[in-house]
Amino acid sequence: MDHITCRTCRNQVSVVKFSPAHTSVQWSSAARAGCAEFAQTGGGPVRGCAALRDSIEKAVTAGEVGLTTRDGDLL
């Protein structure tokens, strides 16, 4: 997993990409508590954070995050 910092709120999460369309994100409780998009839901369900998604895509484009197999091999 790669560590990505959101360019908006500076929270850090762990990310792994299995395909261009499949990204797995692990949020720490501190990152979840500090995310403005999560705060807007008042603790309700949320599918993700657009700002973080943008930060991840920029990291992929910059080569900071690569695609990997489920076995952990980089593609």
pLDDT at 34: 86
19-51 pLDDT tens trace:
888 899 998 888 888 888 877 877 666 677 899
**Mean of the per-residue pLDDT values of the chain:** 84
- At 68, the pLDDT band (50, 70, 90 cuts) reads confident
Looking at residue 73, its pLDDT comes to 58
pTM of this structure: 0.79
3-state secondary structure the chain: CEEEECCCCCCEEEEEEEECCEEEEECCHHHHHHCHHHHCCCCCCCCCCHHHHHHHHHHHHCCCCCEECCCCCEC
